[in-house]
Amino acid sequence: MEPHSNNNTPKSPCKMVCRLDENGMCVGCFRNLDEIANWAIMTKEEKFDVLRKSHLRMQLREIKL
């Protein structure tokens, strides 16, 4: 995954796993269904916020294991 494209807009963190866990979180990219569905219409700032949140979720998942 490239974190940014040429115009500094973040690219989707999708890992092509596309499976939700029991909490409604994608096990590949750690976004919830609303974040996935609305990615295309989010502002650059909203996308960076989702990327920060998904990264934290990934770290928390690894700690719990």
pTM flag (> 0.85) = no
Segment 5-57, tens digit of pLDDT: 557 889 999 999 999 999 999 999 999 999 999 999 999 999 999 999 999 99
User: Which single residue is written with the structure tokens 């596309």?
Assistant: 18
Domain extents for the chain?
1-65
Q: What is the pLDDT of residue 18?
A: 92
Give the contacts of 35 (CB within 8 A, at least 6 positions apart). 50, 53, 54
Tell me the one-letter amino acid at 5. S
